[in-house]
A and B are shown apart, each in its own frame.
Chain A
Amino acid sequence: MGQDSPLLSIQHVSKDFYGNVVLQDVSFDIKPGEIIGLVGENGAGKTTLMRILFGMPVITETGGYQGKIVFDGHETNFSSPFDALDAGIGMVHQEFSLISGFTTTENILLNNESMKPNFLNEVFGDRMSFLDRSDMKQRAVKAIQKLGVKLNPDMLISEMPIGHRQFTEIAREINREKIKLLVLDEPTAVLTESEAEVLLTSLRNLAAKGISIIFISHRLQEVLSVADTIVVLRDGKAVKNLPSKECSIRDIASWMVGRSMTSESDAEVANRKLADEYFRVEHLWVDMPGETVKDVNFTVNKGEIFGIGGLAGQGKLGISNGIMGLYPGGGKVIFDGKEAPLNDPRKVLEIGFAFVSEDRRGVGLLLDESLEWNIAFTSMQIKNSHLKKMLKLVKIRDDASMRKLTEEYIKLLDIKCTGPSQKAKELSGGNQQKICLAKAFAMKPSILFVSEPTRGIDVGAKKLVLDTLIRYNREYGTTIVIVSSELEELRSLCDRIAIIDEGSVAGILEPTAPLEEFGMLMSGAFESNKEASHA
């Protein structure tokens, strides 16, 4: 085997989940000591590719994959992540998997400890051995040195800065003797810039020692500075594979988001005349776990469809949830000239806001109740509709009027169900989403917030849901704010699109703006744009 034969060769790998193609004929090679930067939007197939590489059970459970993976000269098909670890592939996940009450050494050597035999072994076997702490410490220090960073081997994880935790994770992977390939999934997402710089340096050290690295990140600058080769995934295809010296951030950004679409809807959107400012957000912050909003400012005109996009975890979901009072927040929200209260779900519903949550099953629906309840409940609570007087004394639920309302929406939105009294949990994802929309429409809102309207539903239902939103906007002039991770969707629907990066607006673009501009904003590459939008 020559020096130049690849360590890992991914050949024509394809994968679909029940007919939904997520990877299509992906091929690339990694040489020993090479760093590959794997980039792509959310849902481009990065995670699925890594899952295939690791032999995660979810892949075999959903029908396996096509194509070949050759690792270290042998064709492999790992049946579990343990096989992959044994073969010499290590993975560092986005979320830490460390035990916070243990020290660095203990975490690095977890389940791989040095042991001293004692008399109990005679009876109970190896699991009763004592730990050889001094040897463990030596091994941990060796792994830390290999990484080229400073880490205290006796420090508790819980007392460590986040950057050091990340190093501990990596040290754990490279401590394995056979490690040949290291996969890092968004390792810098939680690090500060200086920490990230140290991490990148240590990755170069490792590569110099012959360990290959697959580096997944959406921070394009880092990818460009550390990787030897860039592989761009888009919609499951490896659209580009070339040395990093030959491309710029702008190139990568445009490859990531693609340049496929220009449809007639764009032209229509451009010609729309919109009334004056209707809704304004000033310095909004929202404390929503995983989707923190730091400082968001934007205005929406009456009758507009306003899109909010950006990568996952950057805070776009926090905006609508915060405005609706579902997560604690602060700042100013001005609606129709008056300030709208924050942190009070009831008040904002009363002044005419409505919300379709991204968490359909968790927040959007009463799964164990009938469709009637699901659609009419909010309107009953806020507007006192669907109630009737009994014996002129008490107001009780008017089941007949709830049924009528539900039947109306079943017809209007073409909801597939056995009838208004079917339980919401028995419906398919797309139809459940329509129930959520019906619930919001039943409120007759002045402004409608829709979060991830097409997440987890099939293509046909997607189109129906989006068409419904457009129709509702055009017929009733309802102002709509849509939050979505799917840029294509926003571009086909919205009058303007704000891109959120790191908790604030990176920029607001027309849907017809060139795609690479969107890509740049999402990747946080355009610092100057941020200033422009604040002004």
Chain B
Amino acid sequence: MLKVKEFIRDFGWPRLIIFFFLVFMFIAAPFVGVRLDASFSDVLNRFGMNAIMVLAMVPMVQSGCGLNFGLPLGIISGLLGATISIQLGVTGFGGFLIAVFIALFFASILGWLYGLLLNKVKGEEMTIAMYVGFASVMFMSIMWLVLPYNSPNMVWGYAGKGLRTTITVEGYWLRVLNNFLAIKFGEFFVIPTGLLLFVALCVLIVYVFMRTKTGTAMTAVGSNPDFARASGVSVDRMRAISVMLSTMLGAVGIIVYEQSFGFIQLYTGPLYMAFPAVAAILIGGASVNKASMLNVLVGTFLFQGLLTMTPSVINSLLQNDMSEVIRIVVSNGMILYALTRKTKVSK
């Protein structure tokens, strides 16, 4: 009994409630005519698509910069990488890798500048981050029209210039990760092995990084900046590195998302991408200044599971389409809940 209590305290009531709700959804699914195997496959796929963007929260949370509401900045770097790769016309794995490398290049520059900005607004990071995200999306809305892309796959047909709002990656690198070593069970159940392996690789890299000297210093900066400074650590530098890392992960994350989703969404597409990622890591049990790999994995699974299952099951139950409404209520409600639980570093 004592062990159970301890487990509940460690795992947390909100997570348990969501977990049981999710289990309930899976049990209810067959009764309302939703296929269980297809649902499972969906949850796995969406987990893989989103996990890296959730992972992008970790470095900033650990260094005390709060939740990365500026994720759209990383996503924009990813979009630049993806569109340039298509412009170059490289297909298959090569195209995917080129997209990732170009995205990382842009993300490191933008992330560093973003980090310098956040160092000027200590204590208000999350508010400022939100505006950085919004502003950058709007700025790029202009740039997508102006930049000299000319791949016929991407530009508006009638003008011959300016990128379309939605660009398909079919014929380039559609599902290159998903299909890599994919295991099929019957018609509806597929394990996207390559996708999950790539996520595992990214998680491992961040896990190891947080254990290096720099990663340790970063955690200490988030825990108590004065302590870190007195130990000879440059607080501003650590914070800038963490922001850069978060932005780079966001850039990789969106490319992984696109190769599975099949489309690149430009213009206002990235505007609200930060919220599901923030909600997921909070459901996973992270606080505003502590996050672990476990938080990422558990949180992404629970949140994406909820997003996959709730609309389909509830829609079938109510004979009504309100999936989008439920999605918004759940994700924003979760952010609200977690921010009220905000635990300050004890002083």
| A contacts, CB < 8 Å to B | 324, 326, 345-347, 349-350, 355, 357, 359, 361-369, 373, 377-378, 380-382, 384, 387, 390, 394-397, 425
Contacts and interface: CB of A to CB of B under 8 A. Distances in A.
Residue from B213, B229, B233 with most neighbouring chain A CB atoms (10 Å): B213
Contacts of A390: 208
Contacts of A381: 213, 216-217, 231-233
B216 A377 contact: yes
Interface string B210-242: 011100110110011011011111100000000
A397 B216 contact: yes
B9 interface: no
Contact of B208 (A347, A382, A396): A396
Nearest to A398: B211
A368 B223 contact: yes
A349 B347 contact: no
A324 B230 contact: yes
A378 B217 CA distance: 9
Contacts of A366: 220, 223-224, 227
Residue from B208, B211, B345 with most neighbouring chain A CB atoms (10 Å): B211
Nearest to A326: B230
Contact of B345 (A326, A367, A382): A367
A425 B211 CA distance: 22
Contacts of B320: none
B175 interface: no
A346 to B, nearest CB: 3
A380 B215 CA distance: 12
Contacts of A394: 208, 212
Given A349-B232, A359-B226, A364-B230, 18 more contacts: A326-B230, A345-B229, A357-B230, A362-B226, A367-B223, A367-B224, A368-B290, A368-B345, A369-B219, A373-B220, A377-B227, A377-B231, A378-B230, A387-B213, A396-B211, A397-B213, A397-B216, A425-B346
Contacts of A369: 219-220, 223
A377 to B, nearest CB: 6
Contacts of B229: 326, 345
A380 B346 contact: no
A380 B213 CA distance: 7
Nearest to A344: B232
Nearest to A348: B232
A361 B347 contact: yes
Contacts of A357: 230
Contacts of A384: 213
B346 A367 contact: yes
Contacts of A380: 213, 216
Nearest to A321: B230
Contacts of A359: 226
Nearest to A357: B230
B227 A364 contact: yes
Residue from B211, B227, B229 with most neighbouring chain A CB atoms (10 Å): B227
Contacts of A395: 212-213
A394 B216 CA distance: 14
17 contacts: A345-B230, A345-B231, A350-B232, A362-B224, A362-B347, A364-B227, A365-B224, A366-B224, A366-B227, A369-B223, A373-B216, A373-B220, A377-B216, A378-B231, A380-B216, A381-B232, A387-B212
Contacts of B345: 367-368
A350 B347 CA distance: 28
Given A377-B216, A395-B213, A397-B211, A367 B231 contact: no
B201 to A, nearest CB: 14
B160 to A, nearest CB: 48
A390 B210 CA distance: 13
Given A349-B232, A390-B208, A425-B346, A363 B216 contact: no
Contacts of A396: 208, 211-212
Interface in B70-102: none
A381 B227 CA distance: 12
A346 B223 contact: no
Nearest to B232: A346
A85 B181 CA distance: 82
A194 B123 CA distance: 43
Contacts of B211: 396-397
A397 B212 CA distance: 6
Contacts of B233: 346, 381
Contacts of B212: 387, 394-397
Residue from A355, A361, A368, A382 with most neighbouring chain B CB atoms (10 Å): A368
B260 to A, nearest CB: 30
Contacts of A373: 216, 220
A347 B290 CA distance: 30
A363 B346 contact: no
A353 B227 CA distance: 16
A452 to B, nearest CB: 15
Contacts of B346: 367-368, 425
Residue from B216, B226, B346 with most neighbouring chain A CB atoms (10 Å): B216
Contacts of A324: 230
B266 to A, nearest CB: 36
Contact of A363 (B213, B223, B226, B290): B226
A53 B345 CA distance: 37
B230 A355 contact: yes
Given A368-B290, A396-B212, A382 B224 contact: no
A112 to B, nearest CB: 37
Contacts of A377: 216, 220, 227, 231
